[in-house]
Amino acid sequence: MQAQGGSVGRVEKCLFTFAEGDDALRLESGRRLAPVTLAYETYGCLNKDATNAVLVCHALSGDSHAAGYYSQSDHKPGWWDDYVGPGKALDTDRLFVICSNVVSGCMGSTGPSSVNPQTGRPYGLDFPVVTIGDMVEAQRRLVEHLGVSRLLAVVGGSLGGMQVLEWTVRFPEMVRAAIPLATTTKHSALAIAFNEVARQAIMADPKWSNGDYYDGELPQHGLAVARMIGHITYLSDEAMRRKFDRRLQDRCDISFNFEADFQVESYLRHQGQKFTERFDANSFLYITKAADYFHLESSWGRGSLVEAFSRAQCSFLAVSFTSDWLYPTYQSRAMVQAMKKAGLDVSFCEVHADCGHDAFLLPNPRLASMLGSFIGRFLEQEPEEVADRAV
């Protein structure tokens, strides 16, 4: 399925460094981090009133490269290229789209693989544990650096959706519209369990070396297994049946050994190995921990999700997917119910998709239409109209 609209074309990764000297980033853990660098990309142009900025928040293994190409030799565009570009859902002919790699990441932003200025060596496990709130605080610094005092919209799926929700209650005056996709206000025991098994796979790799592996061999096997575990949760039973079923991989019969007999085994091994070529094992530990710690009602509502959302001032479009068993629809419905009880303007849609949690990353004309229409509402309104409706 081809995406509607055009490409943003060639793009460039930029770096923003802040929190230098006495202006350290104060983390929720109580620790301070300085300096901090965020890798980011922008698409489209900021209008003269700085009212058309949209922040896109990425999921666990994503980065700042949401759309376009770095060079003509790129095999794949950015991870959300189907939705970001001229004439697409996030229409860069009308919008100024920002996407940054989260703090604790490994795609240009400060994280455990970055050099600790106090030691001259990679942080490793000396890097402080960060939260979704810390990620959003760093994004706020970037947004303001780019000349934006209020975002037209914040949009993201999965871990990116958690960032969207955090934005709406941490900086309510800065968000006009919010679009959380395939996400939750808190991890279930099941989601925490999968993340913990994945972390243990990394830490059980002898080459992990208690996080201090940057001068030697990398814990590739542990990270590959962690990715395999995660990848299973991103798919669905129907998607795996349709794609693999019990078909054998390059053979006519079973091997009676521990080679990859089945296509699904070969696929997972390939995905795991490919992941080790671009991601840092320690970043995986830190980002999954941040997701597990996320608990919106505890952080902002003293245990009440309604009270947490009573801080928000924006309109919401919440989207879930029928086959997402990692963050199932019942979690989105509970979130939407709390938003409505808090008196917020909320639209909700459960999109039929049989591909699992990853559905928000894949081309979907219905999702694209909803995103474009919802954001278009706010482009056509004056900011004062939205503020009046939120009161």
Which CATH number covers residue 270?
Answer: 1.10.1740.110
Q: What is the pLDDT of residues 329-377, one digit of tens each?
A: 999 999 999 999 999 999 999 999 999 999 999 999 999 999 999 999 9
Non-local (6+) Cβ contacts of 387 within 8 A are 313
Q: What's the domain range around 251?
A: 192-288
Decide if pLDDT at 151 tops 80.
Answer: yes
Decide if pLDDT at 380 tops 90.
Answer: no
Cβ(332)–Cβ(318) under 8 Å? yes
Non-local (6+) Cβ contacts of 239 within 8 A are 323, 354, 355, 356
Q: Is 324 a catalytic residue?
A: yes
Same domain, 45 and 181: yes
Decide if pLDDT at 137 tops 70.
Answer: yes
Cβ(57)–Cβ(160) under 8 Å? yes
For 158: left if phi > 0, alpha if psi spans -120 to 50, otherwise beta; the answer is left
For residues 374 and 194, give the distance between their C-alpha atoms in angstroms, rounded to a whole number: 34
Same domain, 37 and 150: yes
Same domain, 359 and 383: yes
Same domain, 200 and 180: no
Greatest Cα-to-Cα distance within the chain, rounded to the nearest angstrom: 69
Catalytic residue of the set 61, 64, 158, 323: 158
Can you tell me whether residue 33 is helix, strand or coil?
strand
Confidence of residue 21 (pLDDT cuts 50, 70, 90): confident
Cβ(111)–Cβ(128) under 8 Å? no
Side chain identity, residue 345: D
Pairing of strands 153-157, 90-91: unpaired
- Asked, for residue 239, whether it belongs to a domain, the answer is yes
- Asked, for residue 7, whether it belongs to a domain, the answer is no
Same domain, 199 and 271: yes
Average pLDDT, integer, range 210-235: 97
Catalytic residue of the set 109, 280, 357, 358: 357
Helix (H) or strand (E) holding 191: helix 189-203
Q: Tokens for 89?
A: 């859902």
Nearest by Cα to 315 from 152, 166, 171: 152
Nearest by Cα to 314 from 158, 200, 152, 162: 152
Q: Is 158 a catalytic residue?
A: yes
Cβ(188)–Cβ(294) under 8 Å? no
The overall pTM is greater than 0.85: yes
For residues 374 and 17, give the distance between their C-alpha atoms in angstroms, rounded to a whole number: 33
Catalytic residue of the set 82, 134, 261, 324: 324
Same domain, 328 and 196: no
State residue 72's pLDDT score. 86
Q: Is 23 a catalytic residue?
A: no
